[in-house]
């Protein structure tokens, strides 16, 4: 084995067997050219789209682009693609097969790919025997992505609409109760504005007493209001402050409710299409010349090994 891979010996063998190598090369070239043709390998066309994420927010530590990749590659979007393009028939997979989903996902993942580019776009590539179908599949993936994100956002927005609406109703009911209590105090006790009335009534009552009008009808009215303020004044003041606070809270909740309702009702897309897909006019698979070249050189190299073994045994 010392001289099995000797360069001089190999070169001599190649020259000696040159016609054999030529014949092997021609046969390999012809067979690879024939078997790489469309009759044996179905040609496939590639359609490509590139999109930027928009109107979404990053979740966890992932970027918007990574989030887009997760959604584009989700199983429910793949299942929508299966149904929309009848891919079971395209891929030749029986729907009744117990491993139907495994086979479908395997074929889909071989023919459809989404990846992040260095410019943070998501590039979608679809390979298919029909160039128009490949282009339509790219379009549909983008469309299904927008619908899925819209559904996710609407679900969260509706949660916030419900929460803000419940809080708004609760605070409004509390405000109505306060208004009823304040109305009762105003009607029965004459307390309209505790702070201003307390100062004026106290001042008037003291002046009347000082002027010796203890038995007058005006003093009795002032005294009654003074006593009402003493009995219900604190409660009225608390109710007024609470009503003022609730009014501010309700204003904020109303704004919040309107914002979330607006977000829920709007209908927008969640991607900027940088490159639109189109039907390819030239196949991308198989690369016939590469198959022919690889097969031809592989056959010649295998022939060289065989001739080396035969030659070595001859002189053993």
Q: Tens of pLDDT along the chain (316 residues)?
A: 445 556 676 677 667 777 777 887 788 777 776 766 666 667 788 999 999 988 887 666 778 888 899 999 999 999 999 999 999 999 899 999 899 999 999 999 999 999 998 888 999 999 998 899 999 999 999 999 999 999 988 998 999 999 999 999 999 998 888 888 777 766 665 554 555 555 555 555 555 555 555 555 555 555 555 565 556 666 777 777 888 888 899 999 999 999 989 888 888 888 889 989 998 888 766 666 676 778 778 877 887 777 777 766 665 5
Which residues have CB under 8 Å from 256's CB, separation 6+?
Answer: 160, 164
What is d(CA 164, CA 11) in angstroms, rounded to the nearest whole number? 86
Residue 224: the pLDDT is 59
Strand order, beta sheet including 122-128: 112-116, 122-128, 45-53, 271-275
What is d(CA 161, CA 174) in angstroms, rounded to the nearest whole number? 20
Residue 183: the pLDDT is 73
| Token representation of residue 287 | 């690369």
**pLDDT tens, residue by residue, 126-166:** 999 889 999 999 999 999 999 999 998 899 899 999 999 99
What's the longest Cα–Cα distance across the chain? 149
Question: What is the DSSP secondary structure assignment for residue 270, as one 8-state letter?
Answer: S
Q: At what angle do helices 18-35 and 288-314 cross, to 10 degrees?
A: 150
Residue 88: the pLDDT is 92
The candidate with the shortest Cα–Cα distance to 278, out of 19, 47, 65, is 47
Which residues have CB under 8 Å from 158's CB, separation 6+?
Answer: 264
What is d(CA 315, CA 166) in angstroms, rounded to the nearest whole number? 97
**pLDDT tens, residue by residue, 29-70:** 777 767 666 666 677 889 999 999 888 876 667 788 888 999
Asked if residue 235 lies in contact with residue 136, where contact means CB atoms within 8 angstroms, the answer is: no
Residue 146: the pLDDT is 93
What is d(CA 264, CA 155) in angstroms, rounded to the nearest whole number? 8
3-class secondary structure, 126? strand
Residue 289: the pLDDT is 66
Residue 162: the pLDDT is 93
Give this prediction's pTM. 0.69
Residue 186: the pLDDT is 62
Integer CA distances (angstroms), 147 to 1, 142, 231, in order: 68, 9, 63
Q: What DSSP element (H or E) covers 128?
A: strand 122-128
Q: At what angle do helices 7-16 and 288-314 cross, to 10 degrees?
A: 110
């Amino acid at each position: 084995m010392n001289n099995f891979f000797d360069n001089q010996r190999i070169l001599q063998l190649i020259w000696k067997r040159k016609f054999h190598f030529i014949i092997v090369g021609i046969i390999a070239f012809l067979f690879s050219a024939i078997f790489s043709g469309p009759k044996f390998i179905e040609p496939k066309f590639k359609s490509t789209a590139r999109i930027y994420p928009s109107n979404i927010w990053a979740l966890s530590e992932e970027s918007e682009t990574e989030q887009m990749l997760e959604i584009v590659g989700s199983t429910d979007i793949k299942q929508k693609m299966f149904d929309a393009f009848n891919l079971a028939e395209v891929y030749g997979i029986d729907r009744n097969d117990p491993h139907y989903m495994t086979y479908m996902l395997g074929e889909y993942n071989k023919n459809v790919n989404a990846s992040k580019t260095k410019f943070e776009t998501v590039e979608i590539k679809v390979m298919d025997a029909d160039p128009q179908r490949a282009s339509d599949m790219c379009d549909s993936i983008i469309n299904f992505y927008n619908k899925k994100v819209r559904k996710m956002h609407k679900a969260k927005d509706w949660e916030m609409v419900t929460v803000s609406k419940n809080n708004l109703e609760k605070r409004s009911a509390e405000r109505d109760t306060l208004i009823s209590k304040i109305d009762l105090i105003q009607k029965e006790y004459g307390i309209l504005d505790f702070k201003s009335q307390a100062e004026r009534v106290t001042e008037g009552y003291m002046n009347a007493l000082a002027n010796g009008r203890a038995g007058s009808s005006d003093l009795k009215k002032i005294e009654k209001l003074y006593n009402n303020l003493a009995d219900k004044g604190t409660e009225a003041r608390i109710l007024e402050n609470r009503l003022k606070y609730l009014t501010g809270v309700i204003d904020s909740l109303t704004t919040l409710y309107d914002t979330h309702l607006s977000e829920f009702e709007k209908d927008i897309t969640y991607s900027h299409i940088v490159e639109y897909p189109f039907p390819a006019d030239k196949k991308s698979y198989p690369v016939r010349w590469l198959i022919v070249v690889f097969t031809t050189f592989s056959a010649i190299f295998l022939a060289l090994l065989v001739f080396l073994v035969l030659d070595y045994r001859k002189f053993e």
